[in-house]
Amino acid sequence: MNTRVTSTGTPPANVLLEVSHLTKHYPVRKGVFSQVSGQVHAVDDVSFWIAEGETLGLVGESGCGKSTTGKTILKLIDPTAGTIDWRGHRIDQLSGTGMRPYRRELQAVFQDPYSSLNPRMRAADIVAEPIRNFESAAVGEIDERVASLFEKVGLRPDQMVKYPYEFSGGQRQRLGIARALAPRPKLIVCDEPVSALDVSVQAQVINLLMDLQDELGLSYLFVAHDLAVVEHISHRVAVMYLGKIVELTDKRSLFTNPQHPYTEALLSAVPVPDPKIQRKQVILLGDVPSPINPPPGCRFHTRCPYAEERCRVEEPAMKQVRPGHFVACHLRDGSAAAPRAKTV
Ligand code: ADP
Ligand code: MG
């Protein structure tokens, strides 16, 4: 039985990915000798897990560290600190060869498929390439798998000979999804996969990802800057602000009972379909501070309408406010008055 307890709860037995205290700082260099003059605190002490067949949404404003989190999981960049466990094996320290058995299982779909798909390769070769790289499959088998992947993602057989520029934005993203599926992954990091698409096409791509999850038992880390985009696809949602996760819970709790003032602010921008449901409107003050010198105490205090003295000096720890609902806010630990709604 699994009895480990992390800062975001006890992972279930079918946990695939576990990220603990993940930190990534980028050096800031200045002058002709490129001396290091500071650090960008892109990701700071981030912990979460993803189970088999589950989608964790990761949301926050641009620059809060979502892509950096995704890239460290994919091992495209090394973390500064923290651990990444993949099916019980630590992968954060692994090099190219050590990572080889796991590389196939972790795939990615990016925001701009045009820049991540080789423009000089035909669509069928783009999808076949990862199969050739990871497996020693016969040519006939590769052709069959590519054809079935085209069908799975809703592309036509005649599109197999086309080049990426001949596809529309939504079709190109379908091609990116087919390529990610080709090596039969267990988890796909979807980094803003629909952010560049028209709203009607966004829904089609999200529905495709959900159908594929049902059919193949996939897990997703689904990154978006907009809460409305993750609402449909996520089982749980983590909200990130300036390098930190400030709230993590199941989708329903997050949308109906948000606990962090930053989540309330993000939700204020999401339209509510039922006019009987009233949402607290929280207007953010000021701009996002620099991640080179993040504010002391709670990183959100400079923009928080409820900030108190304690928030300016003491960093809030992640606490469980209800089973499975975690929040890092001093106003939610019972020792301070509950925040008052600021209605506009
Ligand atoms: P998001 O995906 O949420 O928009 P990112 O993870 O891309 O955020 O970036 C987080 C922070 O790290 C930003 O301040 C960004 O400017 C900085 N950053 C990202 N990549 C690098 C890099 N290679 N070197 C220096 N700073 C970086
Ligand atoms: Mg990003």
* 246 assigned to some structural domain: no
Q: Which of 66-75, 145-154, 171-180, 194-203 has the lowest mean pLDDT?
A: 194-203
Beta strands 244-250 and 55-59: pairing type? unpaired
Q: Is the CB of 42 under 6 A from ligand 1?
A: yes
Range of the domain at 131: 119-181
Is the shortest distance between the CB of 64 and ligand 1 below 6 Å? yes
In a domain, 33, yes or no: no
Report the separation in Å between the CA atom of 239 and the middle of ligand 2, taken as the mean of its atom positions. Answer: 14
323-342, pLDDT tens digit by residue? 999 999 999 875 444 454 44
Per-residue pLDDT of 211-262, as tens digits, reads 999 999 999 999 999 999 999 999 999 999 999 999 999 999 999 999 999 9
Ligand 1 nearest atom to the CA of residue 71, by list position = 6
125: in domain? yes
> Does residue 66 belong to any structural domain of this protein?
no
DSSP class of residue 325? E
Look up the pTM and report it: 0.93
Are 49 and 8 within 8 A, CB to CB? yes
Could you tell me if 92 and 83 are in contact, meaning their C-beta atoms sit under 8 angstroms apart? yes
Task: Point out the ligand nearest to the CA of residue 80.
Answer: 1
What's the CA-to-centroid distance between 137 and ligand 2, angstroms?
35
List, for residues 122-140, the tens digit of each pLDDT value: 999 999 999 999 888 888 9
Asked if the structure places residue 142 within a domain, the reply is yes
Instruction: Count up the domains in the chain and report the number.
Output: 1
154 domain-assigned: yes
- Answer whether residue 143 is part of any domain: yes
Question: What is the pLDDT at residue 218?
Answer: 98
Is the Cβ–Cβ distance between 268 and 244 less than 8 Å? Answer: no
Residue 127 lies in a domain: yes
Atom of ligand 1 at shortest distance to CA of 192? Answer: 2
- Asked whether 224 lines ligand 1 (CB < 6 A), one says no
Per residue in 57-104, pLDDT (tens digit) is: 999 999 999 999 999 999 999 999 999 999 999 999 998 889 988 999
